[in-house]
Amino acid sequence: MATDIGGQGREAHCHRFAITKEAKKMIALIRSSPPSGDLRRIRGNTSIWYPSRKMSSTVRAEGHKIEFPSILELEYSSEYEEDF
């Protein structure tokens, strides 16, 4: 299971990419907020709820052809720690 890049790891990333204090505050707000938005019922789409270990929550997708495969790619890729 992937772990959060907390503390010094996150600070190193912020320093490497020259993240401002305001941007850090916004990132912290986004990371601590629950998922937003409701799934739309579009004809032909399937609502999917995927229990993500990496995100430690249930991830929602509106379709099984584009969004769900993208969620799976992010979930099992070692290049990504989190997805928002």
pLDDT tens by residue, 48-66? 888 888 877 788 888 788 8
49 membership: H or E segment, kind and range: strand 48-52
Separation between Cα atoms, residue 70 and residue 57, nearest integer Å: 16
Q: Across residues 5-31, what is the average pLDDT?
A: 83
Give the SS3 label for residue 79.
coil
For 56, other C-beta atoms within 10 Å of its C-beta total: 11
What sign does the CA torsion over 6, 8, 11, 16 have?
negative
Task: Tell me: pLDDT of 2 over 60.
Answer: no
The secondary element (H helix, E strand) that includes residue 14 is helix 8-16
The reported pTM is: 0.54
